[in-house]
């Protein structure tokens, strides 16, 4: 005790703690000024010799603790002191100050009290507890699953979302369980089909231990997809974050692809990249930077100053000697000090243009990218850096996040939420009420259709019902998905915000594209059938009638082939617009494909359908010029009526198609209502088609030959080969009946080859001055190998090509005139003669005479047959004959049947004729006799 009393009072008063020493009788021996200050006690009362009980009484009178608790506190302290053991206690004063009292017994029976003000530390500990509780709340209610494992692969902690995402049994998966047991448990529940638990464990641990931070995807037994990202910790354990991405995968497909491309770009990027510290010393660079500047690795070592790098580059001759280094650094320092980017373009000595961008970092460093923009490519920006701290993770979430307390005040929110709603950070911060946020959000126009009070009342009502999801449609058109989850222990709410605008738009676009034609935006076949099925069901239930109109454009292929698909597409869009204008607002218009359209029409039928069909034929038959091109087209319409023609969609469409076929057979530009006999006609046509297929193999075809005469001399010049069919079942079948079917089915190609080979073989036995003429179908020009087939037929027959004349109609030229003319030139190179058949009936005949030098023009029999009766026909024949004479082309008049007609074509100036007046088509066996009679040259020989 004597040693303690010997302490310097001045030194004792200088310490930060309060000190008071008592003797064995519990009387004050020594104390310092700090002791009195801490407890606000009077030096007039507290003095040497006063008892500890008197000190406590004075402290109570100063309000340091309630006076009614004096006896309780005195007894408790006396009991502790009598035990003669050190002890500590805390005392919170009414002023808010928190004190610690450390009691230390002394060897002489007395004791020492040391007091310290720990108010600030207590506040920090309290704040830390609050922050810890908030983090725990966020951990438990975040949208992602999170778990942590130690170095022995045993679970330390996980949140409920982790169990929910993987579908784990909470009774099995809990802290202490090993990762191997977790994998075995998951696989035992039917997950990871096709992979054993051991295989899955090995794969996962390889990814984790290998330090792979890329997301991994696992598929649950119910088809849901889980994405997990694992990070190794320094202690050998790891943290895994996971989420159920099933609903987002489709919407994020484009973003994933972009990410994959971006990752590949980082590995193989064409851009150079450097990071400099605040003093412009190099921290790191990539190989492409070295490659761009031709630098060796030792020339760009970490720590090299940017100015030294530039001088090295100049020494390599990459930049000119007058490179403005000083000016660059001055501008660079100024921009970076303002936290602004600096982008400069430099022309390199080899002619390349380089774009260099310096970007400041928050830590004082800067990033420089070097892009060769000579052949400019768009650069990919590097994705945001990873953050370890929890608050950094929140601010880099793709979703917005807000945590509310039970009074709907903000506990924490991330930057994404503020940016998503374009809110002010000065308004949205911890402590602000959600009511104030909503008022601010309405004020800036996010919710133009409601008031802040209505918005808040509706929000509170929904929260009362528990966790829920709602969608906000903002004033700028964006759609935000809000997911509310209640916090445990009577807390508040965790709300996540996701911008689903593009996802919704993509869904709407996909839904629209699935049911609409991309060219005309009309309903497509799928939607048309759906509408028709619905309409037919309504008719079956409630009565009424509905018409199905099938439309097909006339001459559309000609427009497409001659003027190009761009003009064809314009025509289709024009037709679609005209159909829309003609139909009623409740009618359905569809493009079924190509130039096929269809209409569903309710109302009194068939009157409404016929009126619409007449209107469509009239309107579409007069298209406007498209890009200065005159368009010749029309439309044919087939109509079926429900329920008269059926209530089955397929049956009704078949009826409309049959009516359409009949309308086109009537000459196009017309409409037809379905009649039952059309089905019988279609069946008969189908049977005729089958018979036609068998006829060629059965050898039922033969050729007839009609002579051609030169008018000036009366000399026989050749024969035209005409195809005839003598069916075993049908007898003689008119070419007018079977040739169109053969062309529609493509049978005309093998049939035409047979005609050509047979005609050439037959003509090979005739005198050398007699030629053979063979008609070519337009279909044969579309089929490949026409020139090769003609060459083969001539070679097989041994016929001089000059004796073969191929007759081409304008129809063949119309379908693809450039390709057809090219083929005709190839045939001409063989030595074959080419004639233009049925001249005058088309509207482009004169144009084809300019494109190809035909040997003969054959005047259509329709003009010859009306000579002497029609002044116009005579004028046309004379004009064609005169045209042929001027061009040096022979003109043959077809269908001459009388002497009067013969004289008229002679007077008109035609050079050759053929027709019944000279001879009907004869068999191959009678050709020799006709040659004897009609060829004086041959008779003289």
DSSP 770-835: -EEEEEE-HHHHHSTTHHHHHHHHHHHHT--GGGEEEEEEHHHHHHSHHHHHHHHHHHHHHT-EEE
Tell me the average pLDDT of the chain.
Answer: 83
The predicted structure's pLDDT at residue 831: 92
If DSSP codes are grouped into helix, strand and coil, which group holds residue 891? strand
Distance in angstroms (rounded) separating the CA atoms of residues 500 and 243 = 17
Q: What is the CA radius of gyration of the chain?
A: 50
Q: For 467-478, what is the HEC assignment?
A: CCEEEEECCCCC
Q: Report whether 200 contacts 183 (CB < 8 A).
A: yes
Residue 250, pLDDT above cutoff 80 = no
First to last CA, the chain: 167
Q: How many CB atoms lie within 10 A of CB 562?
A: 19
Average pLDDT over every residue of 593-598 = 89
Q: For residue 496, give every residue at least 6 positions away whose Cβ sits within 8 Å of its Cβ, in sequence order, or none.
A: 143, 399, 400, 401, 482, 483
Of 364, 368, 369, which Cα lies nearest the Cα of 279? 364
Distance in angstroms (rounded) separating the CA atoms of residues 17 and 33 = 10
Angle between helix 649-665 and helix 676-698 axes, rounded to 10 deg: 70
803 against 852, higher pLDDT? 803
pLDDT in tens, 731-757: 898 888 888 888 877 888 899 899 999
Distance in angstroms (rounded) separating the CA atoms of residues 96 and 242 = 45
pLDDT in tens, 867-884: 877 778 888 888 888 888
Question: Is the bond leading into 643 cis (omega within 30 degrees of zero)?
Answer: yes
The predicted structure's pLDDT at residue 638: 92
Going by pLDDT thresholds of 50, 70 and 90, the confidence category of residue 598 is very high
The predicted structure's pLDDT at residue 702: 93
Phi/psi class of residue 280: alpha, beta or left (left: φ > 0; alpha: ψ in -120 to 50)? left
Residue 937, pLDDT above cutoff 50 = no
Residue 263, pLDDT above cutoff 50 = no
Residue 398, pLDDT above cutoff 50 = yes
Of 130, 129, 131, 69, which Cα lies nearest the Cα of 94? 69
The predicted structure's pLDDT at residue 9: 67
The predicted model scores a pTM of 0.42
480 against 782, higher pLDDT? 480
pLDDT in tens, 169-214: 888 888 999 989 988 888 888 887 788 889 889 888 888 888 777 8
Average pLDDT over every residue of 806-815 = 74
Buried b (16+ CB within 10 A) or exposed e, 304-321: bebeebbebbbeeebbee
The predicted structure's pLDDT at residue 382: 38
* Lowest mean pLDDT across 263-272, 629-638, 857-866: 263-272
671 against 820, higher pLDDT? 671
840 against 684, higher pLDDT? 684
Let me know how long the chain is: 941
The predicted structure's pLDDT at residue 549: 93
The predicted structure's pLDDT at residue 377: 45
Q: Which residue has the tokens 């090299």?
A: 304
Distance in angstroms (rounded) separating the CA atoms of residues 54 and 60 = 10
The predicted structure's pLDDT at residue 5: 47
- The pLDDT > 70 percentage for the chain reads 89
Of 766, 764, 837, 776, which Cα lies nearest the Cα of 801? 764
> Cα-flanking dihedrals φ and ψ of residue 486, to 5°?
-75, 145
Q: How many CB atoms lie within 10 A of CB 916?
A: 12
Going by pLDDT thresholds of 50, 70 and 90, the confidence category of residue 389 is low
Among 3-7, 76-80, 598-602, the range with the most confident prediction by mean pLDDT is 598-602
Among 238-252, 704-718, 830-844, the range with the most confident prediction by mean pLDDT is 704-718
> Cα-flanking dihedrals φ and ψ of residue 641, to 5°?
-120, 130
Q: What is the dihedral of CA 425, 427, 431, 436, to 10 degrees?
A: -140
What residues pair up with 145 in beta bridges, in sequence order? 242
The predicted structure's pLDDT at residue 691: 81
Residue 457 tokens read as 């009342």
């Amino acid at each position: 005790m004597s040693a303690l009393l010997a302490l310097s009072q001045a030194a004792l008063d200088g310490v930060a703690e309060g000190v008071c020493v008592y003797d064995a009788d519990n009387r004050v021996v020594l104390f310092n000024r700090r002791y009195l200050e801490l407890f606000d006690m009077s030096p007039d009362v507290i003095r040497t010799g006063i008892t500890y009980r008197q000190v406590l009484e004075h402290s109570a009178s100063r309000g340091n603790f309630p006076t009614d608790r004096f006896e309780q506190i005195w007894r408790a302290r006396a009991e502790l002191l009598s035990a003669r053991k050190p002890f500590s206690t805390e005392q919170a004063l009414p002023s808010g100050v928190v004190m610690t009292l450390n009691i230390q017994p002394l060897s002489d029976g007395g004791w020492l009290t040391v007091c310290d003000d720990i108010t600030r530390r207590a506040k920090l500990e309290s704040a830390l507890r609050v922050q810890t509780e908030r983090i725990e709340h966020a951990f438990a209610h975040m949208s992602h699953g999170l778990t942590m494992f130690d170095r022995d692969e045993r679970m330390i902690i996980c949140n409920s979302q982790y169990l929910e995402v993987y579908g784990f049994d909470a009774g099995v998966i809990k802290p202490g369980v090993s990762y191997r047991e977790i994998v075995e448990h998951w696989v035992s529940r039917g997950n990871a089909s096709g992979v054993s638990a051991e295989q899955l464990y090995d794969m996962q641990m390889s990814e984790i231990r290998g330090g792979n931070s890329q997301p991994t995807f696992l598929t649950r037994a119910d088809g849901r997809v889980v994405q997990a990202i694992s990070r190794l910790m320094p202690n050998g354990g790891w943290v895994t974050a996971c989420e159920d991405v099933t609903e987002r995968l489709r919407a994020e497909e484009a973003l994933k692809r972009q990410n994959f491309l971006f990752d590949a770009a980082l590995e193989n990027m064409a851009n150079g990249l450097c990071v400099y510290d605040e003093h412009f010393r190099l921290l790191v660079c990539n190989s492409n930077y070295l490659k761009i500047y031709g630098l060796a690795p030792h020339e760009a070592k970490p720590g090299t100053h940017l100015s030294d790098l530039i001088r090295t580059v100049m020494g390599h001759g990459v930049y000119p000697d007058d490179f403005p280094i000083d000016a660059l650094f001055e501008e660079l320092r100024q921009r970076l000090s303002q936290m602004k980017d600096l982008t400069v373009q430099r022309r390199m000595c080899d002619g390349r243009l380089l774009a260099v961008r310096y970007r400041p970092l928050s830590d004082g460093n800067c990033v420089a990218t070097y892009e060769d923009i000579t052949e400019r490519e768009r650069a990919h920006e590097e994705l945001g850096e990873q953050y370890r701290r929890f608050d950094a993770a929140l601010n880099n979430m793709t979703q917005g996040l807000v945590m509310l307390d039970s009074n709907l005040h903000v506990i924490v929110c991330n930057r994404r939420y503020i940016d998503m709603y374009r809110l002010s950070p000065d308004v949205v911060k911890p402590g602000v009420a959600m009511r104030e946020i909503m008022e601010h959000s309405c004020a800036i126009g996010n919710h133009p259709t409601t008031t802040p009070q209505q918005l808040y009342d509706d929000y509170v009502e929904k929260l009362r019902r528990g966790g829920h999801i709602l969608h906000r449609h903002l004033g700028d058109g964006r759609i935000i998905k809000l997911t509310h989850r209640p916090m445990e222990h009577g807390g508040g709410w965790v709300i996540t915000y996701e911008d689903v605008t593009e996802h919704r738009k993509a869904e709407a676009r996909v839904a629209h594209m699935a049911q609409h034609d991309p060219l005309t935006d009309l309903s497509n076949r799928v939607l048309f059938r759906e509408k028709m099925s619905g309409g037919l069901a309504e008719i079956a239930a409630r009565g009424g009638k509905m018409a199905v109109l099938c439309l097909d454009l006339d001459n559309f292929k000609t427009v497409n082939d001659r003027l190009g698909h761009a003009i064809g597409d314009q025509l289709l869009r024009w037709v679609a617009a005209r159909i829309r204008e003609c139909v009623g607002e409740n009618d359905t218009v569809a493009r079924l494909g190509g130039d096929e359209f269809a209409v569903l029409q309710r109302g009194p039928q068939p009157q409404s359908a016929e009126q619409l069909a007449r209107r469509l034929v009239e309107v579409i038959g007069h298209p406007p010029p498209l890009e200065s091109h005159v368009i010749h087209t029309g439309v044919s319409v087939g109509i079926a009526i429900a329920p008269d023609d059926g209530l089955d969609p397929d049956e009704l469409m078949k009826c409309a198609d049959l009516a359409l076929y009949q309308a086109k057979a009537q000459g196009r530009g017309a409409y037809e209502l379905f009649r039952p006999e059309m089905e019988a006609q279609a069946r008969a046509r189908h049977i005729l088609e089958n018979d036609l297929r068998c006829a060629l193999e059965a050898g039922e075809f033969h050729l007839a030959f009609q002579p051609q005469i030169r008018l000036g001399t009366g000399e026989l010049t050749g024969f035209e080969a005409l195809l005839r069919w003598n069916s075993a079942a049908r007898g003689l079948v008119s070419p007018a009946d079977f040739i169109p079917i053969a062309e529609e089915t493509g049978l005309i190609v093998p049939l035409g080859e047979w005609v050509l080979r047979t005609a050439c073989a037959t003509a090979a036995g005739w005198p050398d001055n007699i030629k053979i003429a063979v008609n070519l179908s337009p279909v044969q020009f579309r089929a490949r190998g026409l020139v090769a087939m003609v060459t083969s037929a001539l070679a097989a027959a041994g016929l001089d090509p000059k004796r073969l004349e191929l007759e081409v109609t304008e129809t063949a030229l119309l379908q693809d005139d450039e390709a057809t003319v090219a083929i005709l030139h190839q045939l001409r190179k063989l030595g074959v003669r080419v004639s233009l058949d049925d001249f005058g009936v088309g509207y482009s005949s004169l144009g084809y005479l300019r494109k190809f030098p035909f040997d003969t023009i054959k005047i259509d029999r329709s003009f010859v047959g009306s000579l002497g009766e029609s002044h116009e026909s005579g004028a046309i024949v004379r004009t064609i004959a005169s045209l042929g004479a001027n061009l040096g082309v022979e003109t043959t008049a077809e269908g001459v049947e009388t002497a009067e007609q013969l004289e008229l074509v002679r007077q008109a100036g035609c050079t050759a004729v053929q027709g019944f007046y000279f001879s009907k088509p004869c068999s191959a066996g009678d050709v020799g006799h006709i040659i004897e009679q009609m060829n004086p040259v041959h008779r003289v020989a």
